[in-house]
Copies of this chain bind each other. A is one copy, B any other.
Amino acid sequence: MSDQTYTIGEMCRAFDVTPRALRFYEQKELLKPIRQGQHRHYTPRDRARLTLILRGKRFGFSLAEIRELLELYYVGDGQVTQLNATLQAAEKHHDELRARRDELTAAIGELEEQMRLVRTMLTAKADKAENTARAAG
Contacts and interface: CB of A to CB of B under 8 A. Distances in A.
Q: Per DSSP, are chain A's interface residues mostly helix, strand or loop, or mixed?
A: helix
A136 interface: no
B58 A59 contact: no
A64 interface: no
Interface size class of A (residues with CB under 8 A): 35 or more
Tell me how many chains of this kind the complex includes.
2
A111 B94 CA distance: 7
Interface string A46-71: 00000000010111110000000000
A66 to B, nearest CB: 12
Interface stretch (A3-11, A14-22, A29-37, A84-92): A84-92
Interface in A96-137: 97-98, 100-101, 103-105, 107-108, 111-112, 114-115, 117-119, 121-122, 125-126
A103 B59 CA distance: 9
A55 to B, nearest CB: 6
